Amino acid sequence: MSNLYINTTQNVKLFFTPASVGERILAFVVDLLIKLAYVVVAVFVSFKIFNIEEMFKKQDWTVVAIISLFSLPIIFYSILSESLMDGQTLGKKLIKIKVVKIDGYQAGFIDYLIRWIFILVDIQPGFIPGVITMITTTHTQRLGDMAAGTAVITQKSKYNISHTILMDIEDEYVPYFSRNQVIMFSDNDIRIIKENAETALNQGKFEIQNRLARKIESVMGTLNPFKKDSELIEKLLKDYNYHTGK
């Protein structure tokens, strides 16, 4: 298993760690237990409320409709969960892994649909195809991931987001930008800006600073009030830490 680098549409390289086979299997087991718990509840409701046992005896076709209705959440569990929870099922969320596109775009319903369709291929027979492809592919992708152009990454890290965007600010620091201006950026935006600004400084690539400054201007809807692009970037980073650190 190697690290996964994703180039975003803004040509910014992001770094991720693919989820291990063990993490993916554990998430699958958690989801399976959730489905089994649902089945237990559904059976109880069917027998106690709908009296499905009597329907069986009378060969009432209503029982088919009831069973089909109760089966829908299990059948569509994965695709609905990943679509509504940004690439996660309850099992993935608990294990802290999620589905992402390897081309930098946000995974969408079609991607989750392709992965869902390939579930039968990946788990038959005896989960062998899925496990073999996860073990042998670079980013632990199963066949569904390869078809959809996705990968499952871990969200666990020995560094949390505060380590990557945190900056030292003096007690008497006075921000230039307002809170409403800086919260136009997310933690991830600030991390990307900070990492690229550091790269530009270390490698003397001032065109990166220029691109970052123009992007900041476009998001905030204002021109750079400072003499240098580096000043704008530094001020944004400090102001973001000031306002969000309260």
pTM: 0.61
pLDDT bucket at 161, cuts 50 / 70 / 90? very low
- Which among 59-68, 72-81, 166-175 has the top mean pLDDT? 72-81
Output 70 or 80, whichever has higher pLDDT: 80
pLDDT of residue 116: 94
Percent of the chain with pLDDT over 70: 81
Taking 80 as the threshold, does the pLDDT of residue 4 lie above it?
no
- Could you report how far apart the first and last alpha carbons of the chain are, in Å? 39
Of 3-12, 162-171, 178-187, 208-217, least confident by mean pLDDT is 3-12
Average pLDDT rounded to a whole number, residues 194-200: 85
pLDDT of residue 191: 84
Interatomic CA distance for residues 155 and 16, integer angstroms = 8
For 14, the token pair is 């992001």
Partners of residue 151 on adjacent β-strands: 100
pLDDT of residue 70: 83
Give Cβ neighbours of residue 222 (< 8 Å, ≥ 6 apart).
181
pLDDT in tens, 73-116: 999 999 999 999 989 999 999 999 999 888 756 788 999 999 99
Interatomic CA distance for residues 191 and 165, integer angstroms = 5
pLDDT bucket at 58, cuts 50 / 70 / 90? low
Interatomic CA distance for residues 209 and 85, integer angstroms = 35
pLDDT of residue 52: 66
Give Cβ neighbours of residue 72 (< 8 Å, ≥ 6 apart).
none
Give the three-class secondary structure for 97. strand
pLDDT of residue 112: 95
Average pLDDT rounded to a whole number, residues 111-127: 86
pLDDT of residue 126: 72
Average pLDDT rounded to a whole number, residues 179-196: 85
Of 9-23, 115-129, 151-165, 211-225, least confident by mean pLDDT is 151-165
